């Protein structure tokens, strides 16, 4: 029987798989398994750290529940009901199970389950941090690229000064000055808070982010009001984000522009625009993704002072207020949520690595 007859008879389907395909499948499975194992270990470490913090803090969670005037019998009953009489390893396992089910307990400050509080405050922080990161990308990336391409020029000098001020200037001072000038004196932006009193509670909640919710509802007046309130704190965070992004972009570009392949591209007569954006910039996309992801994560967990100054009801203000009140359930719940965001951002960065650079293993 000839080879063509074997193919027609379907005999080729019984042949063993190609060694190359088997090797690629094993590498893919190994890579996925490594990512999942890394995710599990990171999550376990995060839960261990937050569990230890909850135990070493000089705050008695039982007294926060029963009050200072509770009897010893009431204290002991609450102590047992909260599982604090069990060994630490058993308490940790119970804590892991509760977190995996999304159960962070009840907030003493608000009287609501912590999960409900986080659903309410976290979208406000995401909205603020997303706009800040977007500003940082739109301004910081081109600024860093041009600064590297024109090294020593006036754009490079401006980029250095911008980065230096961004790293040196206290954010609370800039926030207060911004409110004084742009809200108090010029009246160009809205004041503290997410919306004016007229529009408070008028937009139906779909995502928890007022800009998106007002667009979905088609309420342009509410959108303009929300934008006038968010633009100043978002620009403030965006300035610190672009200071970091522009500095790192400049550093990455300088390294690429000094490489031999850039010299070769110029010798071949390629335009400077194509050399910079088509070759050098494309090769810094992978490390730049990590920089942007870290910047976004930093704004999520580092916008505490901004949220306090602008009365922004986000997770930073929520954690600060509950910490001052000794509400450890709320503090730990917010800390775990922010930690999970960093884990997810790192995973997304890895996935984008594979998309932008298929050679990355």
Q: Give the per-residue pLDDT at 6.
A: 43
Q: Give the per-residue pLDDT at 22.
A: 64
**Spatial distance between the Cα atoms of 63 and 71, rounded to a whole number of angstroms:** 11
Q: How far from 18 is each of 10, 21, 24, 27, 31, CA to CA, in Å?
A: 17, 5, 10, 14, 20
DSSP string, 33-55: HHHHHHHHHHHHHHHHHHHHHHH
Q: Give the per-residue pLDDT at 137.
A: 94
Tell me the CATH class for 117-356: mainly alpha
Tens digit of pLDDT for each residue in 129-179? 999 999 999 999 999 999 998 888 888 888 888 888 877 788 888 888 989
Q: Give the per-residue pLDDT at 253.
A: 92
Q: Give the per-residue pLDDT at 117.
A: 92
Maximum CA extent, the chain: 95
**Spatial distance between the Cα atoms of 191 and 310, rounded to a whole number of angstroms:** 8
Long-range contacts of 253-261 (CB under 8 A, 24+ apart): 253/144, 253/145, 253/148, 253/149, 253/280, 253/281, 253/284, 254/148, 254/151, 256/280, 256/281, 256/283, 256/284, 257/148, 257/149
Nearest 10 degrees: Cα torsion 231, 234, 238, 240: 130
How does DSSP classify residue 106? B
Q: Give the per-residue pLDDT at 298.
A: 84
Q: Count Cβ atoms below 10 Å from residue 191 Cβ, excluding itself.
A: 14
Residue intervals in the chain for CATH 1.10.3720.10:
117-356
Burial of 109 (0-12, 13-18, 19+ CB in 10 A): buried
**C-alpha torsion sign, points 55, 59, 60, 63:** negative
Q: Give the per-residue pLDDT at 233.
A: 93
Tens digit of pLDDT for each residue in 38-90? 778 888 888 888 888 877 777 777 777 777 777 788 777 877 877 777 888 88
Q: Give the per-residue pLDDT at 252.
A: 92
Side-chain half-sphere of 167: how many Cα atoms within 13 Å? 10
Instruction: Scan for tokens 């090294």, then name that residue.
Output: 151
Q: Would you say 298 and 341 are in contact if contact means Cβ atoms under 8 Å apart? A: no
Q: Give the per-residue pLDDT at 23.
A: 64
Name residues of the chain where pLDDT drops below 70: 1-25, 28, 354-361
Q: Give the per-residue pLDDT at 198.
A: 81
pTM for the model stands at 0.80
């Amino acid at each position: 029987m000839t080879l063509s007859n074997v193919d027609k008879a379907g005999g080729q389907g019984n042949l063993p798989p190609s060694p190359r395909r088997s090797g690629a499948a094993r590498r893919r499975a190994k890579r996925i398994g490594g990512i999942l194992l890394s995710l599990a270990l990171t999550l376990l470490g995060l839960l261990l750290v937050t569990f230890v913090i909850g135990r070493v803090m000089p705050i008695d969670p039982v007294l926060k529940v029963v009050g200072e005037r509770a009897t010893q019998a009431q204290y002991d009953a609450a102590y047992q009901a909260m599982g604090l009489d069990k060994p630490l390893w058993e308490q940790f396992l119970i804590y892991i199970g509760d977190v995996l089910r999304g159960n962070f307990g009840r907030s003493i400050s608000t009287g609501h389950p912590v999960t409900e509080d986080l659903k309410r405050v976290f979208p406000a922080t995401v909205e603020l941090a997303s706009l800040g990161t977007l500003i940082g990308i739109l301004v910081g990336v081109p600024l860093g690229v041009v600064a590297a391409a024109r090294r020593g020029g006036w754009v490079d000098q401006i980029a250095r000064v911008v980065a230096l001020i961004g790293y040196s200037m206290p954010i609370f001072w800039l926030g207060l000055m911004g409110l004084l000038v742009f809200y108090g004196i010029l009246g160009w932006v809205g004041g503290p808070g997410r919306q004016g009193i007229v529009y408070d509670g008028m937009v139906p909640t779909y995502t928890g982010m007022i800009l998106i919710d007002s667009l979905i509802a088609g309420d342009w007046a509410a959108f303009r009001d929300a934008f006038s309130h968010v633009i100043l704190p978002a620009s403030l965070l965006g300035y610190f984000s672009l200071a970091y992004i522009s500095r790192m972009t400049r550093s990455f570009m300088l390294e690429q522009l000094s490489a031999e392949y850039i010299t070769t591209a110029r010798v071949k007569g390629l335009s400077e625009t194509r050399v910079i954006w088509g070759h050098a910039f494309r090769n810094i996309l992978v490390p730049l993704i990590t920089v942007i992801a870290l910047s976004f994560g930093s704004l999520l967990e580092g916008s505490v002072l901004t949220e306090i100054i602008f009365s922004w009801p986000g997770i930073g203000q929520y954690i600060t207020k509950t910490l001052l009140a000794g509400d450890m359930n709320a503090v730990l719940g917010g800390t775990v949520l922010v930690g999970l965001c960093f884990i997810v951002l790192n995973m997304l960065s890895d996935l984008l690595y594979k998309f932008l650079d298929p050679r990355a293993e």
